[in-house]
Structure 1
Amino acid sequence: MGSSSGQSSNYDLSFKILLIGDSGVGKSSLLVSFISNSVEDLAPTIGVDFKIKQLTVGGKKLKLTIWDTAGQERFRTLTSSYYRNAQGIILVYDVTRRESFMNLSDVWAKEVELYCSNQDCVKMLVGNKVDRESERVVSRDEGIALAKELGSLFLECSAKTRENVEQCFEELALKIMEVPSLLEEGSTVVKRNILKQKPENQAPHGTVGGCCS
């Protein structure tokens, strides 16, 4: 198939995905489970971390840049620059902790509304830790109801057993690709990168500081 030089810029679309939710609900575990197919107990994320995963969904090669936050940051709300240009947002709660579920509607969903510059941005509600079924306090039906209210997709998963972990990101990506404006954004990034490709490895633009409006 032609002479592909195996460069990592070999993808059709590039999307920015955010993981938000209370501290300890398993956002980082979800991400590690998805990225590396392994599961490990992780120390709390300090500040913001991001990982890149390439995958093929719906016949397209995607590059997902997935941003993970420290949940305790809700005490000093995330800056708008974090939300800027995100095509997808995964709101995570722990099915064994009702407070983490309540905070999605009381805290996080409001923040998304406030900061997400993108009206078309696709949201997904994810109930994590279904492997601890005996400790569950938030029912699947409650999750479905909140997802309806927020106009978001819904899935329950377990970062520990990896159940539904890949589906979270794949379904989100498929949904993003159905939205013309987001699809356009995703391909614009790719076009820009091809134009300004340089041999040296540059730090991703805007990682330091970043303007806070």
Structure 2
Amino acid sequence: MSKHLDHLFKVIVVGDSGVPKTKLVHLADSTTTETTKVGCDFTIRNLVIDGEKIKLQIWDTAEMHPFKIVSTYYRGTSGIIIMYEVCDKTTFTNIPNWLYEINQNCDSSVIKILVGAEGPSEEQRLVRTEEAESFAEEMNLKFYETSLQEKTDVEDLFMTLAKDMVRKRKIQIEEAELQLQVEFDTVQLGATEKRKKKCI
């Protein structure tokens, strides 16, 4: 890709210890892996969607203490992948704790996706797909189940996340431009009213 970018987004992957967050990050087909000053790795993923060049910084929280991710780590985040394992019920029942922390540290506009990592066999499943889908709908989250061994839906997951973040950013830009126009019109109206009073 050229140096020109249309969008740069920070994405973090959260979930209980033992959930394969690092594996998902590595499956993003990274071109570069860097380490931040807080000791966390992030992977770079480049995408082109509708002709726009997008760079994702996908941050891995695998080494962070559960529910104790430093608040600065959330700063500037545009998208969050919340992971659990379908063979470990506790990792699913802890999702509300992660949502609480996210809501405490992130802007309400952050895009959130719930991802269930499938186990080695369906017989070991403890979290039904229907249960997770119902929870995701209740929490207004998009939902994916993926086999990291077979890379099922991993590409679609990152593409969906990127599209949603681009859409959200464009809406925010439009709203900001509209607000600036309203403020400008208000100032202009005030100036016009002052001139009218002087002429009376």
Shorter-chain TM-score category?
0.7 to 0.9
Choose the corresponding residue for 1:16, options 4, 10, 17: 10
Q: TM-score, normalised by structure 2?
A: 0.76
Partner residue in 1 for 2:41:
49
> 1:27-67 deviations in whole A, cap 9, x for unaligned?
11111112259xxxxxxxx9521111101123321100001
How far apart are the structure 2 equivalents of 1:110 and 1:81? 16
Q: 1:47 to 1:92 in 2, by over 3 A?
A: farther
Which amino acid in the other structure matches residue 29 of structure 2? Answer: I
Please list, as runs of the form range in 1=range in 2, the aligned pairs for 1:144-163 lying within 5 A after superposition: 144-163=133-152
Distance 1:31 1:150, change over 3 A: same
* Partner Cα distance (1:65, 1:130) in 2: 27
Q: Which residue of structure 2 lines up, in the alignment, with residue 111 of structure 1?
A: 101
Change in Cα spacing, 1:30 to 1:182, as seen in structure 2 (3 Å) is farther
CA distance in 1, matches of 2:8, 2:15: 23
**Distance apart, 1:71 and its partner CA:** 6.0
1:78 equivalent to 2:78? Answer no
Q: How many residues align?
A: 167
Residues 131 and 55 (structure 1), Cα distance of their counterparts in 2 relative to 1, 3 Å cut = farther
What SS does the aligned partner of 1:179 have? helix
Q: Which amino acid aligns with 1:10?
A: H
* TM-score, normalised relative to structure 1: 0.72
CA–CA separation in structure 2 for the residues paired with 1:154 and 1:72: 24
1:135 lines up with 2:135 in the alignment: no
- Check if 1:27 corresponds to 2:11: no
How has the CA–CA distance of structure 1 residues 80 and 129 changed in structure 2, closer, same or farther, with 3 Å as cutoff?
same
Percent of pairs with identical residues: 35
Q: CA deviation at 1:167?
A: 1.2
Deviation at 1:79, TM superposition (A): 1.3
Higher relative contact order, structure no. (Cα contacts within 8 Å, ≥ 6 residues apart): 1
Provide Cα deviations, 1:87-106, integer angstroms capped at 9, x if missing partner. 1000000011000001111x
Secondary structure (helix, strand or coil) at the match of 2:157 reads helix
1:101 partner letter: F
- Structure 2 spans left out of the alignment, 5+ residues: 32-37, 174-200
Instruction: Return the alpha-carbon distance in structure 1 between the equivalents of residues 112 and 169 of structure 2.
Output: 16
Structure 1 residues 79 and 120: alpha-carbon distance in aligned structure 2, compared to 1, 3 A threshold: same
AA partner of residue 21 (structure 2): K
2:59 matched to 1:67? yes
| Structure 1 residue runs without a partner (length 5+) | 1-5, 38-45, 185-213
| Greater strand fraction, Structure 1 or Structure 2 | 2
- Which residue is 2:156 aligned to? 167
Q: Give the alignment's Cα RMSD to 1 decimal.
A: 2.2
CA distance change for structure 1 residues 130 and 58 in 2, over 3 Å: closer, same or farther? farther
Q: Give the counterpart of 1:177 among 159, 166, 174.
A: 166
